[in-house]
C-alpha cells in the first residue's frame, strides 16, 4: 500500500487500485495518485500487501475484497498489469497467444468485474486502462502484443459506453516507449545496451524515451474529477510517435 500524502489533494478521501503497481508505469501511477491524496492499493504478483495474479479469478476477487474491506470503498481502478511479446504472427504458438491475451485483455475484464460493485457506489468512479501505441501503430515484430493492445483499446471504448450511465468513466493511456524495467530488460538483452538505448531514443520524435512519471500524470488526469467530461478516449503519451511523420535527419 502507498500511503496518501494527506495534503488535501484532488484524490483526498478516494481509494485507488493499481494492477501491476509494483514496477514501472504502475509504480509511478501508484506514487502519483498517493501524492495527490489517494489511498492506493497495489495489486501485483509480489512485493505488495494485495498479492494477486490477474490471470487467476480467485486471487483477483480475493484481493479486491481485501481492498474494499480495508478501505471501505474503491473509486479508481487502473488496469495496468501487462506483458510484452515479440515476433511475427508465426513466432508465437497458440499457448503463447492465449497466455498474453489472458493477461493483457481478460485480466482487465476480471479485475473490472470484481471492482464494479464498489465503483458503482463511488461519486467519482473512473477506470483507466494502460494500452499502448502498439494498438494502432502497426509495429514490426510485435504481432501478438499489438493485437492484445488493440483489444484493450476496443475494450476501453466498449466499457466506456457500458458504464458511463452508471457514473463510471473509462479511458485509456497509450504510452510510446517508456523507460521502465521492462524496456531495461529488452535493452540489456542487446549486444550493446547503451548503443541500443541511444538508437531507441533517437527513433522517438522528441529524442528520448517517455518517463514513467509522464504516463502517471496522464493516468492521474484521466482518473481525477478534473477530467469529468472525458470518456472513452485514448490519451497518447508517446513523444509524438503515433501522430507525427518526421523527415529523416
Ligand atoms: P513492468 O514489467 O515494469 O511492470 C509490470 C508489472 O505488472 C510488474 O510489477 C509485474 O509484476 C506486474 N504483472 C505482470 N503480470 C502480472 C499478473 N499476471 N498479475 C498481476 N501483476 C502482473 O512493465 P511496464 O513497462 O511498467 O508496463 C506496464 C504496462 O504498460 C503494461 O500493460 C504494458 O503493456 C504497458 N506499456 C508499457 C510500455 C513501455 O514501453 N514500457 C509502453 C506501452 C505500454
Q: Which of 85, 145, 227, 241 is catalytic?
A: 145
Q: Do residues 112 and 159 touch, judged by C-beta distance below 8 A? A: yes
- State the pLDDT at residue 3: 56
Q: What's residue 248's pLDDT?
A: 81
Burial class (CB within 10 angstroms; exposed 0-12, middle 13-18, buried 19+) of 243? exposed
221 is catalytic: no
| CA–CA separation, 125 and 110 (whole Å) | 17
Residue 188, C-alpha cell as written in the block: 540489456
DSSP letters spanning 3-57: PP--S--TTTT-EEEEETTTSHHHHHHHHHHHHTT-EEEEEESSSSSEE--TT-H
Best of 43, 64, 81 to mutate for ligand 1, by most ligand atoms within 8 A of CB? 81
Q: What is the pLDDT, as a whole number, of residue 4?
A: 57
Please give the ipTM for the structure prediction: 0.99
Cβ atoms 143, 88 nearer than 8 A: yes
Q: Read off the C-alpha cell for 53.
A: 495474479
Query: Do residues 18 and 80 make contact, with C-beta atoms less than 8 angstroms apart?
Result: yes
pLDDT per residue as tens, the chain (249 positions): 555 556 679 999 999 999 999 999 999 999 999 999 999 999 999 999 999 999 999 999 999 999 999 999 999 999 999 999 999 999 999 999 999 999 999 999 999 999 999 999 999 999 999 999 999 999 999 999 999 999 999 999 999 999 999 999 999 999 999 999 999 999 999 999 999 999 999 999 999 999 999 999 999 999 999 999 999 999 999 999 999 999 887
Q: Is 51 exposed, middle or buried (0-12, 13-18, 19+ CB in 10 A)?
A: middle
What's the CA-to-centroid distance between 202 and ligand 1, angstroms? 23
Say how far apart CA 128 and CA 79 lie, in whole Å: 6
Residue 249 pLDDT:
75
Amino acid at each position: 500500500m502507498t500511503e496518501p500524502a494527506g495534503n488535501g489533494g484532488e484524490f483526498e478521501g478516494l481509494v485507488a487500485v493499481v494492477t501491476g503497481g509494483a514496477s514501472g508505469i504502475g509504480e509511478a501511477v501508484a506514487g502519483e495518485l498517493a501524492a495527490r491524496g489517494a489511498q492506493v492499493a497495489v495489486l501485483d504478483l509480489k512485493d505488495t500487501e494485495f498479492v494477486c495474479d490477474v490471470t487467476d479469478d480467485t486471487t483477483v476477487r480475493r484481493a479486491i475484497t481485501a481492498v474494499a474491506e480495508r478501505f471501505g470503498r474503491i473509486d479508481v481502478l487502473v488496469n495496468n498489469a501487462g506483458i510484452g511479446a515479440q515476433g511475427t504472427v508465426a513466432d508465437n504458438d497458440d499457448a503463447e497467444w492465449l497466455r498474453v491475451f489472458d493477461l493483457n485483455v481478460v485480466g482487465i475484464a476480471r479485475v473490472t468485474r470484481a471492482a464494479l460493485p464498489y465503483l458503482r457506489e463511488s461519486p467519482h468512479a473512473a477506470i483507466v486502462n494502460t494500452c499502448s501505441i502498439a494498438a494502432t501503430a502497426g509495429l514490426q515484430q510485435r504481432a501478438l502484443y499489438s493485437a492484445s493492445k488493440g483489444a484493450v483499446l476496443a475494450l476501453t471504448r466498449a466499457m466506456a459506453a457500458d458504464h458511463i450511465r452508471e457514473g463510471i468513466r473509462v479511458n485509456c493511456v497509450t504510452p510510446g516507449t517508456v523507460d521502465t524495467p521492462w524496456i531495461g530488460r529488452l535493452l540489456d538483452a542487446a549486444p550493446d545496451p547503451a548503443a541500443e538505448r541511444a538508437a531507441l531514443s533517437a527513433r522517438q520524435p522528441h529524442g528520448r524515451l517517455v518517463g514513467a512519471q509522464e504516463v502517471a500524470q496522464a493516468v492521474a488526469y484521466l482518473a481525477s474529477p478534473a477530467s469529468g467530461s472525458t470518456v472513452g478516449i485514448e490519451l497518447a503519451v508517446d513523444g509524438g510517435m503515433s501522430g507525427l511523420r518526421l523527415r529523416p535527419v
